[in-house]
Amino acid sequence: MRARFLWIPMLIVALVALPACGGGDGGTLKIAILAPLSGDVATFGESTRDGAMMAIDEWNADGGVLGKQIETVVEDSQCNAEAAVSAANKVIDQDGVKFIIGEVCSSASIPVSEVAMAKGVLQMSPTSTNPSVTVDEFGKTKGLIFRACFIDPFQGTVAAKFALDNLGVKTAAVLLDQGNDYVRGLAEYFRDAFEAGGGQVVVWETYTGEDQDFSAILTKVKDAAPDILYLPDYYSTVNLIAAQAREKGVTAVMMGGDGWDSPDLDTSVVEGGYHTNHYSADDPRPEVQDFVSKYQEKYGAVPDALATLAYDATNILLLAMEEAGSTDPAAVAKALEDMSFDVVSGNITYDELHNPIKSAVILHIQDGKAVYMDTIAP
């Protein structure tokens, strides 16, 4: 008699649980996107979100991943360590996410990687280029952390070699935000490669993320009259420094890194300059041109490197899940390590530090546009 009554609560539990795992269709899988959607580098976040969402929409239209529809949780992590850590904790603890796409900025991705490792969550940064994102202070690879981009020792070397060999320059001034992992790292890698190749760094000056007035350090640049002025910061800061440099009469050719990639880069003040990047929309490869037209149709804009790498990062992650046949982060990490991916920004195979070996492109700011110049293989 008693056993018959037990059926009733069990039936209720089963009926409540069924819709939560999506009935017969395999349920849903939550993925978080952490990106700066407000503040100084908001275009980075918008492009990242749009690129990742485009990939997810395509997978969902195609039946999802492992039969599950993908649900996204998007958080504004502001390209900043504190905001990114609380966003990571929120999506993991409250939303129950086991996979994070993001952050964009290395200074945010590095602390997020620590949260992800401690909580057994897989992180895939589309665009954070500092080595410390995937490797800890003892040189050990963080098992659940991956990226879809090359790293800054390569990016800095490409810029230095291009300046020395293609532009034939001999001297450089380097200005850097010492408190920003990406900026400081890229400045140092550039300097090391520039000097190793016979160039001379004649000005090396630091500023902080709060500075607005760069006249004191720009006076030093003006007096040293270097051939190039290397500005390895994000577009918003580059806009400020470059405008003040021009006002002061600095005539050096300006150069920078992927941080220049934004529709809001003030091309009037960096006209004639060069920057390294992950990809160019002018690349004639059919994978690139197909993606550019699909993206343009959906969003009405040409995808920048952030959109493209977020699209690639999302596809890589989902392909690895399919291959692993599992949504267990450790199993997906193992699949990522073993696979090779042909995506829009090139081929991605992971080395033992979870870094893809990929080419960089050089873009030239000409008549207000970033024009494709060259592709440099590792």
Task: Decide: helix, strand or coil at residue 121.
Answer: coil
| Shortest distance, position 205 Cβ to ligand PHE, whole Å | 20
- Which H or E run contains 310? helix 305-324
Closest CA to 169 of 278, 276, 277, 273: 273
- Comparison of 97 and 186: residue with beta carbon closer to ligand PHE: 186
Place of tokens 């918008």: 46
Q: Taking a C-beta distance cutoff of 8 angstroms, is the pair 232, 176 a contact? A: yes
Burial 276-305 (b: 16+ CB within 10 A, else e): bbbbbbbbeeeebeebbeebeeebeeebbb
> Which x/- pattern, by CB under 6 A, does the window 332-371 give for ligand PHE?
----------------------------------------
- Comparison of 308 and 327: residue with beta carbon closer to ligand PHE: 308
104 binds ligand PHE (CB under 6 A): yes
Q: 31 - beta bridge partners?
A: 72
265 binds ligand PHE (CB under 6 A): no
Residues 155-194 that bind ligand PHE (CB under 6 A): 182
| Shortest distance, position 76 Cβ to ligand PHE, whole Å | 16
- Which H or E run contains 70? strand 69-76
Residue selected from 36, 40, 42, 44 as contacting ligand PHE according to rule CB under 6 A: 44
- Comparison of 159 and 203: residue with beta carbon closer to ligand PHE: 159
| Shortest distance, position 275 Cβ to ligand PHE, whole Å | 10
Stretch near ligand PHE under the rule CB under 6 A, chosen from 17-25, 50-58, 87-95, 124-132 = 124-132
Stretch near ligand PHE under the rule CB under 6 A, chosen from 21-29, 65-73, 101-109, 265-273 = 101-109
Residue selected from 37, 81, 87, 105 as contacting ligand PHE according to rule CB under 6 A: 105
Alpha-carbon distance of 188 to 183, in angstroms, equals 9
Residue selected from 130, 134, 157, 314 as contacting ligand PHE according to rule CB under 6 A: 130
Residue selected from 55, 305, 318, 320 as contacting ligand PHE according to rule CB under 6 A: 305
Cα 290 to its chain centre, rounded Å, is 21
Cα 8 to its chain centre, rounded Å, is 52
Stretch near ligand PHE under the rule CB under 6 A, chosen from 82-90, 99-107, 204-212, 357-365 = 99-107
239 binds ligand PHE (CB under 6 A): no
DSSP 167-221: S---EEEEEEETT-HHHHHHHHHHHHHHHHTT-EEEEEEEE-TT----HHHHHHH
Q: Which residues have C-beta within 8 Å of that of residue 168, sequence separation ≥ 6?
A: none
- Residues near ligand PHE (CB under 6 A): 44, 104-106, 127-130, 182, 258-259, 261, 305-306
